[in-house]
Structure 1
Amino acid sequence: MTLFIILGGVGLALLLVTLIFGDFLDFDGGGLVSLPGIAVGLVLFGASGAITLSAGLDMIWVYVIAIMMGLVAYALAALVVRSLQRSSDGEARDVTGDTGVTMSRITVSTGEVYLDAPGEIERRQAFADEEIPQGVRIRVVRVYGPRVKVERETPAPADPAQPAAPDSPNAPASG
């Protein structure tokens, strides 16, 4: 029983290390040999071994069940880790030139914006050379790590060769 308790405890410790420091034991880059998978396998090996031992089974069956449960848990955990690694893009996209809207007042040091670009699902921390109120359209001019420098989005200048719209206050009076 001591062996199962010790290996289960080592598995729990490895899970804690993984939560704090991440998966630093990913040998193949695909998640099949990873610290979370090993940790989960050890926890289930220890738990299932202790449970089957206390049920009074022969020692050979205790080990067979514990090893099988540990391997199944390891395989499932490795597949989950691999799936999560594939689903994350991992590469930062350059958002310079993207447009969006201010979600809070933007100052020279703080603020939040939401960008319109595909794949942008979170707000970004932003700052600007001038104060920009909430709800104003902006354009990203520079990226500084997770923060972006923004400026007001200015509409394209009107073409002087085009006549003004009739309902525009600058339209020539007809008469």
Structure 2
Amino acid sequence: MLLPFLVVGGLGLLLLVVSLVIGDVLDHFEMGDGLVSGTALGIGLTVFGAAGALTVGAGLDLVWAYVAAIVLAAAAYVASVLFVRSLARSSDGVPASAIGLTGVATASISSSGGEVSLDGPGELERRLAWADAPIAEGSRVRVIEHAGSRVKVVADHA
């Protein structure tokens, strides 16, 4: 009686680990605007197995084990889909404007390119940059234009 819950829970755990390690395995199906997610499905199946096993272990009838497992798995699935969708929206949002931010040139900057590290909220990585006049590595810079993830900078003499 316990075996079906253990098998489904184990498969859910495997799907969850695979989705977390190599990426969401169901991403390329694009069904229902993120309604089908390998991560969420893995969570739902794992909760189904755990809830069913715990209910059977508590000595309740098998029918209640399935009811509890289905209800809790559905709730976990919906909660995880909403959570994953919320995370995706926050990471796919329009980047905040970097105009006016200052930073340091981490590589020499010219009209063909360069790299900067900016001092702003959410600026954890380096950005590709360009400038009309050459700027030496280590110089302070200020952003005057923003194009996608690249920024146009000028030397900041402040």
**1:30-81 Cα distance to aligned partner (Å, 9 max, x none):** x322222211110000001111111121111111111111111111112212
Structure 1 residue 78 corresponds to structure 2 residue 74: no
- Residues paired across the two proteins, number: 146
Choose the corresponding residue for 1:48, options 48, 51, 70. Answer: 51
Q: How does 1:1-175 map to 2 (within 5 A)?
A: 1-19=2-20, 20-22=22-24, 24=27, 25-29=29-33, 31-90=34-93, 98-107=99-108, 111-114=115-118, 121-122=122-123, 123-126=125-128, 129-139=134-144, 148=150, 150-153=152-155
Aligned counterparts of 1:136 and 1:78: Cα–Cα separation in 2: 42
TM-score (structure 1 length as normaliser): 0.64
Per the TM alignment, residue 115 of structure 1 is displaced from its structure 2 partner at its CA by 7.4
For structure 2, the 5+ residue unaligned runs are none
Give the number of the structure whose residues are more often strand, by fraction: 2
Q: Percent identity?
A: 32
For structure 1, the 5+ residue unaligned runs are 156-175
Aligned counterparts of 2:155 and 2:36: Cα–Cα separation in 1: 48
CA RMSD of aligned residues (A): 3.3
Return closer, same or farther for 1:142/1:87 CA change in 2, 3 Å cut-off. closer
Aligned counterparts of 1:51 and 1:85: Cα–Cα separation in 2: 33
Per the TM alignment, residue 18 of structure 1 is displaced from its structure 2 partner at its CA by 1.7
Give the number of the structure whose residues are more often helix, by fraction: 2
TM-score (structure 2 length as normaliser): 0.70
Per the TM alignment, residue 135 of structure 1 is displaced from its structure 2 partner at its CA by 2.6
